[in-house]
Structure 1
């Protein structure tokens, strides 16, 4: 199993569409006994939260966010945790909005300290 996400800060490696997370967004992850959660903000996102579960290297979570324009959005994401050679972690994600149309894939990596 990949290392714990607890206390790690991750960021997308590429920008998504306007109003979504992007390279300026920072996720602070927490993990305990198969449960995961994170707070995130930055770029077009004023505040976001995700909650879910972890089984091995797979994450299954829901997210909700408040955008700079005052709108809110929510969705579902499945991620695979990958240990990188330099000791950081990467999440390979497949996501889908539940509050609006849209789906896609993204990659977030631990920010170098």
Structure 2
């Protein structure tokens, strides 16, 4: 069964505007001007659906620059916890069994990323 895509949501631009714009540019590949426009529209999706690990890495880059970011499941639109804790007891609305939903049950690794 196909896994969902995970996208990064910019929730707040933060106080370090220059660093934040550069981080958005790094994550999205947009020009500086379009990165600033995207940042000014927060809350807004910053990335297209991608693998969970890719979305978490992008959120890490943004947060290192002071931007508040969240990773959202592409099927159930729930926020994936960054600390590896379960999301909530409700099952995912996606087409797979709840115990296999990566949004509800993130990998149990020290970094929060799935092993290679």
Scaled by the length of structure 2, what TM-score is found? 0.29
* Larger helix fraction of residues: 2
Scaled by the length of structure 1, what TM-score is found? 0.29
Asked which structure has the greater RCO (Cα within 8 Å, sep 6+), the reply is 2
* Larger strand fraction of residues: 1
